[in-house]
Structure 1
Amino acid sequence: MKFIAVILYKFAIKQNNLHQQRKIILISLITGILLMAAKFTAYFLTQSNFILTDAAESIVNVLASGFAFFSIYLAERPKDSNHPYGHGKVEFFSVFVEGVLITIAGIAIITKAGYGIFHPNEIHNILLGASIIGVTGLINGLLGWYLIKKGKILNSITLDADGRHLITDMVTSAGLVVGLALIFFTKITALDNILSILVGGFIIFTGYKLTRKAIGGLMDEADFKIVDHVISVLNDKRKEEWIDVHNLRAQKYGNELHIDCHITLPNYFDLNRVHQEVHLVDVLINDHVSIKTELFIHSDPCVPACCHYCSMPNCPIRSEAKTKDIEWTMDNVTRNKKHFE
């Protein structure tokens, strides 16, 4: 009965997290549409390519938020025969699309600004345009900070990526305001296109980082920060019965973690005791690692060569006394061999 209650509790938490993610992304989408309209208004008032860089990027914000909303909807679908690990990896694809769109926007901005160097146009209402961009940048910064904070709490790469994109947009907007002020006071209109090219380069770099992160997730690249945290928990809470843990591999699927590992147990334990120890490892990880984790644990029997680092008291089959303690580290826990090999 207690096991069923725990399962229902975890399911309720997951559903609540997904509901919060959908609500937050919807707020981001609506805000993005309103700010995009404001930025394009500033562009039409000023005819500044520099302002157009921010307006063009806002289109990406809206498209990315819309796709993120869809990806979170898809990620919450339960596991099925075609997707035995769930649909969480769609979040990485969402981040990939966002990164590609940002990169395309950066290339378009540089192309437009490069054309403007040879075919300059007159700029109007610079201070009004700077004021509009400054306000939109502040709003994006506050929303981005909120998304990153919630992304960490809810373990959502989509919220985190969207938030970092908005923080980048805020930095871009701040640079825009400074640049527009320089143009206004120096009267050097060529700065409009030169600064646009610099901002476009920064946007392309941001797009590259997001794309790189998404490809790493889609390719099951190891998240060493999460793995190190899991190993730290196992090391701190290890039991005498757990002789060693090895061949540990972790994969992230959306806001869930999947872990495969082997655990060496005394070879005289019966199946009931083995199941109990494996279950305790599962409970330990899910109680202390801040992400819902599914574990597939293979149990290995101990062999005489394990005795010199085994802490099991009153062992009836011990062939030699314990002579050393082996700390579980990234190196020995991730290798596919017992710690004496």
Structure 2
Amino acid sequence: MKQRLLLITFSVSVLILIGKFYAYYLSGSTTLLTDALESIINVVAGAFAFYSIYLASLPKDLNHPYGHGKIEFFASGLEGVLILLAAAYIFLHASQHLWTNQEIKSLDMGMAISLGSSALNGIMGYFLIQMGKKEHSPTMVADGKHLRLDAYNSLLVVLALAITYLTNWLWVDSAASLLFAFFMFWQGIRLIRTSVAALMDETNPKVFRMVIDWITKNQRDEWIDLHNLRVQQYGGDLHIDCHLTLPRYWDLNHVHEEIHDFEGTLSRVLPTHIEIFVHADPCLDECCAHCQVSDCPIRAHAFQEKIEWNNVNLALNQKHFLEQLNRP
């Protein structure tokens, strides 16, 4: 489904590209050139997005034990770089024509093509973003945002051409291109920043929060402590590992069954493939103060209070003790 949607998007982007350059050829408008250059990026990025989705779907192998999903972050970063390059060219071109009175004609045709492309890109961008969020695909989200950006650009083109057509203020054509060049630059920086963060395994606060909320919602008394929780994204897939403290008097079979249940519970946090690794820790006497196992046969201290699991203490690589939390 993802590859089919991207293939349709790529095909439509090629047709839009041809239409925009035809409109620029007829009019000579700098603003229409801006729109056409943006479409070149759409086509190139769409082709690479299609390939990255295909590559990310390949199964794990000996050389890629965590799969190929991170290619999606590289794809979104490349799209950001392409946007920056286009923004730089548009800025230079528009600056050169800002104070010149170049001939502009056939603006009605240019407005019609830009308005049509804006509608098409807006629709495709919406569906790509929605599908990308559903499938947790950074490539589809980045491509959808880029198409949505192109739709906004086309609307700005229509507005600039309409003002130029009605007032004959030729400088508006270049001024609109400069304005959108700055907007494109900001969008490109954001895409690159997000891509680099993901490639460096920076924690996604939203996903991390969802994992914590899911764990606490399904928490059992036997899960005495949870720490060293790490969530890594590999494209649309997740890799989660943590340390889970269980009663030390349990035999190995019981521990194995509990971890299996814990992994099964955690695997339903998001509708995507999730790989989970759990390291089992035995409880200590210091855990008794917050252990909620009511029939514990080896309890050394009375229960005092429950420790609330949050994004800070779950990420720490140490067991939680009340004296640590209450330390000034």
What's the TM-score bracket when you normalise by the shorter of the two chains? Answer: over 0.9
In structure 2, the residue matched to 1:299 is: 280
| Separation in 1, partners of 2:34, 2:182 | 11
Alignment of 1:179-218 (within 5 A): 179-218=160-199
**Is this contact kept in 1: 2:14–2:43, CA < 8 A?**
yes
1:255 is matched by which residue type in structure 2?
A: G
The residue that corresponds to 2:67 in the other structure is 86
Instruction: Establish whether residue 75 from structure 1 lines up as the match of residue 69 from structure 2.
Output: no
TM-score by length of 2: 0.96
Indicate conservation of the 8 Å contact 2:267/2:276, yes or no. Answer: no
Deviations 1:125-175 (A, max 9, x none): 112211110110011001100111111121111111111111111111111
1:108 and 2:89 matched: yes
* Contact 2:241–2:277 (Cα < 8 Å) also in 1: yes
1:233 aligns with 2:214: yes
Supply the distance in 2 between the matched residues of 1:332 and 1:154 (Cα, whole angstroms). Answer: 29
Q: Which residue of 2 aligns with 1:258?
A: 239
Which amino acid in the other structure matches residue 82 of structure 1?
N
Which structure's residues are more often helix, by fraction? 1
**Aligned counterpart for 1:122 among listed residues 94, 97, 103:** 103
Deviation at 1:117, TM superposition (A): 2.3
1:289, 1:318 → 2: CA distance?
36
SS of 1:122's partner is coil
The residue correspondences of 1:106-185 to structure 2 (distance < 5 A) are 106-185=87-166
Aligned-partner SS, 1:331: coil
Q: Which residue of 2 aligns with 1:23?
A: 4
Q: Secondary structure at the match of 2:140?
A: helix
Partner of 2:41: 60
CA distance in 1 between counterparts of 2:271 and 2:57 reads: 18
Q: 1:320 aligns with which of 301, 309, 316?
A: 301
Maintained 8 Å contact 2:21/2:36: yes
TM-score by length of 1: 0.93
Q: Take 1:153 and 1:233, find their aligned partners in 2: how far apart are those partners?
A: 18
Deviation at 1:115, TM superposition (A): 1.3
For 2:28, the equivalent position in structure 1 comes to 47
Could you list the per-position Cα deviations for residues 61-85 of structure 1 after superposition, in whole angstroms to 9, with x for gaps in the alignment?
A: 0000000111111111111121110
Is 1:309 matched with 2:290?
yes
What is the correspondence of 1:8-19 to structure 2 with a 5 Å cutoff? Answer: none
**Which AA in structure 2 matches 1:96?**
G
Contact 2:23–2:113 (Cα < 8 Å) also in 1 = yes
Deviations 1:266-324 (A, max 9, x none): 01111111111111111111123333211111011000000010011211110111110
How far 1:119 sits from its partner (Å)?
4.2
SS of equivalent residue, structure 2 residue 73: helix
Counterparts of 2:196 and 2:65 in 1: how far apart (Å)? Answer: 21
Runs of at least 5 residues in structure 1 that lack an aligned partner in the other structure: 1-19
Identity of aligned residues (%): 43
The SS at the match of 2:268 is helix
Q: Helix, strand or coil for the counterpart of 2:240? A: strand
Within 5 Å, which residues of 2 pair with 1:2-13?
none
